[in-house]
Structure 1
């Protein structure tokens, strides 16, 4: 009976946690919202990363060129695999992170250390990279690198046709081109993101998981935006290499890039050090706002669940 009278933030409260399936659901809904809002920036990022000849002078020039030569709809190329990919990715990321965190929670207090959060985030990032991100991004990037809207002139007619063509021409493993840099990018990103998001929620808003407090959407957006900023800077080379490896086709010749390390060395030798951070600005325009949108939706769902089912408070 002693725990019922103790401070809820020390003993009783931390034992209450949101189940992984609710975190997975909240992440998938947030992913849908993010995809619809930010797809054009992702298309521009991909085009800039694949540009070896200086066709595009920057973000605005790239967007204007694509719109002028291919139509506005071209900015939403690859939306179907992108939206599906984000929905599944966030569901797996949020759910697996919750499961992994449970293994690091203190059995008495229910609290988890920052070390545990880092490992759980990295594990969730590795899992999402292998199961969902790599094959979906291979299809998305192949679709995005095609110029023009005339179906008869395009090699890949759509997401399903693209996947089938890759499997037929390159084998099943063709859908996992660039898996190594994707694993490194996503693992590092999620380790930093989950740890930073929790830290900023506590520091800025005094919000602890399970305390029944529902953040306002703008509060979640601020925490999510800041937490989503560090990853792109740290993982820029992995993202560029991932895009190059995924974009190259094994059809009819030798591969330019033999693997992650070879790609890094080749890009550095041929294009210079800064080429490994190509597309960084559009990544910063997409990822932090994307995290802000996703967390604004996810935190509302999880916060309402906390109040209704963990604290029995009226909605």
Structure 2
């Protein structure tokens, strides 16, 4: 009953290699579904962060209040930029990882070593960090750190205005503030996540890549959730440093943190070792459920592709 759905003709030794574009498509679809499911959590988080007067008594009270006073649709405010961000990020991440894996595979056996698997994930994380994640997060953090809701009192009026102001005051490279820890965070995170997902699929469900097996969505969710916990634990210090570097504006002259290494040393000296894992619980509340949703969708897309190719291969002449 708990076994993955098997292709009727998967006794063949043929192994399907999923093209990188197919992985990118599966990731982008998964990103859209994840955004639609988790956007209310992000809206509630932002409202709580911006609540200076104790209007909201907690997560559930905040959600109920927003829905009652503004309508249920208000819980999906900002869905377009959030979904766009996730769609682009996952498409690039999944496509790059698949491309690197195909590059690193042994040309004779088609096998992929664990070192190559880790390196592929790391490379995918580095690319997504530089191309998409860093500028998006600089703008997001600058907006989120502002206190109050009155537009006339806020320096940044919105995402586009924020990006324009950062470029004008700090130059284009201002949008890549904190790039080094972001690269390390995302690279390490994806190396751990892709490898862990592969191992959990093998150990829990006997799933091998390209074998034509389509995992049940709940199986993919369990593997994705467990894999999603590995990254935040490993990359906590990089995430804290990234946020501190992105939040500080260089337009005022002297900055507290000179770079990634200096920030780590300063935080450790002033706040102790545990400070380098601040915000771990909220990350664990957000990332593993998101990965569970994304993988549930992505595995269905790629699994059906595998079955289709195997069925074509085994079709009678």
Is 1:235 the counterpart of 2:239 in the alignment?
A: no
Q: Is the partner of 1:211 in helix, strand or coil?
A: coil
CA distance in structure 1 between the aligned counterparts of 2:154 and 2:124, rounded to whole angstroms: 35
Range with greater deviation from structure 2 (151-160 or 228-237): 151-160
Gaps of 5+ in 1: 1-5
SS in 1 for 2:18: coil
Q: What's the secondary structure of 2:252's corresponding residue? A: coil
What is residue 123 of structure 1 aligned with on the other side? 123
> Within 5 Å, which residues of 2 pair with 1:1-315?
8-9=12-13, 13-14=14-15, 16-39=16-39, 80-312=80-312
Task: Identify if the C-alpha distance between structure 1 residues 75 and 170 changes in structure 2 by more than 3 Å, giving closer, same or farther.
Answer: farther
* Structure 2 CA distance for aligned equivalents of residues 29 and 285 of structure 1: 22
Q: Structure 2 CA distance, aligned partners of 1:64 and 1:269?
A: 38
Cα separation, partners in 2 of 1:83 and 1:140, compared to 1, 3 Å: farther
CA contact (8 A) 1:212 1:311 kept: no
Q: Please state how far the C-alpha of 1:202 moved relative to its aligned partner.
A: 1.3
Q: Give the unaligned 5+ runs of structure 2.
A: 1-9
For residues 66-111 of structure 1, the C-alpha deviation after alignment (integer angstroms, 9 at most, x for no partner) is 9989x98998786554332221111011001011001121222322
The range that moved more, 239-248 or 28-37, is: 28-37
Q: Structure 2 CA distance, aligned partners of 1:162 and 1:273? A: 33
CA RMSD, 1 decimal: 3.2
Q: Is the alpha carbon distance of 1:37 and 1:18 closer, same or farther for their aligned partners in structure 2, counting shifts above 3 Å?
A: same
> Distance between the aligned counterparts of 2:63 and 2:150, measured in 1?
14
Q: Does the CA-based 8 Å contact 2:93-2:128 persist in structure 1?
A: yes
Report if the CA contact (8 A) 1:81-1:140 is conserved: no
Give the alignment's TM-score, normalised by structure 1: 0.84
For residues 63 and 168 of structure 2, the distance between their equivalents in structure 1, rounded to whole angstroms, comes to 30
* Secondary structure of the structure 1 residue equivalent to 2:250: coil
- Preserved CA contact (<8 Å) 1:101 1:120: yes
Post-superposition CA distance 1:241-271 (Å, at most 9, x none): 1011111111223112111111112222222
Q: TM-score, normalised by structure 2?
A: 0.83
Distance 1:46 1:101, change over 3 A: farther
Does structure 1 retain, via aligned residues, the 8 Å contact 2:44–2:62?
A: no
Are the equivalent residues in 2 in contact too, given 1:257–1:263 (CA < 8 A)?
Answer: yes
Answer yes or no: is the 8 Å Cα contact 2:23–2:98 preserved in 1: yes
Q: Give the distance between the partners of 2:97 and 2:278, measured in 1 at CA.
A: 30
